[in-house]
Amino acid sequence: MSTASPIGVFVTPVTPLQQNCTVVWCTATQRAAVIDPGASVDAVLAEIARRGLTLDRIWITHGHLDHAGGAAEMQEKSGVDIWGPHPDDQFWIDGIPQQGQMYGLPEARSFTPTRWLGDGDTVILGETTWDVVHCPGHTPGHVVFINRAARFAQVGDVLFNGSIGRTDFPRSDHQALLDSVTKKLWPYGDDITFVPGHGPTSTFGAERRNNPFVSDRAMQAAPIARPASGPS
């Protein structure tokens, strides 16, 4: 973000799956939110303190281990509330301990969000307002956080630089994911810069031009097979 932006952002990859734990903050108040603290809780909290920020909330895009596995620990150590995801991801959150055993993260725990989020909700961080967009497909309860003023989004595993989220999980839906991206995210504008759940940033415009799954050209052509593997 530029110095004139109403928000600041830093990203820390965590877990063996290199999930983009994202810290966003209001530059006017230095109030911060951690989006998807999958692990490395102490390191993330230390960096927040080093930057002189005050942690205000934990926001969760969806219930997969690498995104939500550290939320309970962070809540315990910071005392802040957990907001999100949509309640349709309850079963994924309940399964976090089992996921942790599978991926070598036995400290990962389930939790109950302080506030579930739904389509059309807004969340306030300092003097900034964020749209909550329910984007099912990768998981049924996935949400995305968008700050219109900063032209910024954290999209979790809905959309990536050059790809989209996997839909070979229980209750995934490939067509719902395509609809989430093209009907819910694209209308925000091509100039939105986004941090995905894994990998490098991009813009909605770049993905509309080049993404082989959800570009304008791809959506007008024959359906492309869904990703069989990739980021979780």
Closest by alpha carbon to 12, among 62, 77, 67? 67
How far apart are the C-alpha atoms of 111 and 160, rounded to whole Å?
A: 27
The closest alpha carbon to 106, from 96, 116, 92, belongs to: 96
Torsions phi, psi for 26 (to 5 deg)? -80, 120
What is the spatial distance between Cα 33 and Cα 15, in angstroms, rounded to a whole number? Answer: 19
Q: Which pLDDT score, from 0 to 100, does residue 232 have? A: 61
What are 86-128's pLDDT values in tens digits? 999 999 999 999 999 998 899 999 999 999 999 999 999 999 9
Residue in this structure with the two tokens 């973000």, named with its chain if needed: 1
Measured distance CA(30)–CA(26) in Å, rounded? 5
pTM summary value:
0.94
Share of the chain above pLDDT 70, in %: 94
The CATH number of residue 89's host domain is: 3.60.15.10
Range of the domain at 31: 7-220
> Strand, coil or helix: what is 82?
strand
Q: Identify whether 231 is part of a domain.
A: no
* 228 domain residue, yes or no: no
Residue 230, domain member (yes or no): no
Domain for residue 1, yes or no?
no
Overall residue count recorded for the chain in this entry: 232
In the structure encoding, which two tokens stand for residue 72, read together? Answer: 């309970």
Residue 176 in tokens? 């719902």
Average pLDDT over residues 12-32: 97
Name the token pair of 196.
């995905």
What pLDDT, in 10s, does the model give residues 147-177? 999 999 999 999 999 999 999 999 999 999 9
Residue carrying the six token digits 């281990």: 65
Is 232 contained in some domain? no
Q: Is residue 193 part of a domain?
A: yes
In this prediction, residue 224 carries a pLDDT of 56
Instruction: Please state the domain count of the chain.
Output: 1
Residue 123 lies in a domain: yes
Q: Taking the CB of residue 119, how many other CB atoms lie within 10 A of it? A: 14
Residues 6+ apart with CB under 8 A from 77: 41, 42, 45
Is residue 209 assigned to a domain?
Answer: yes
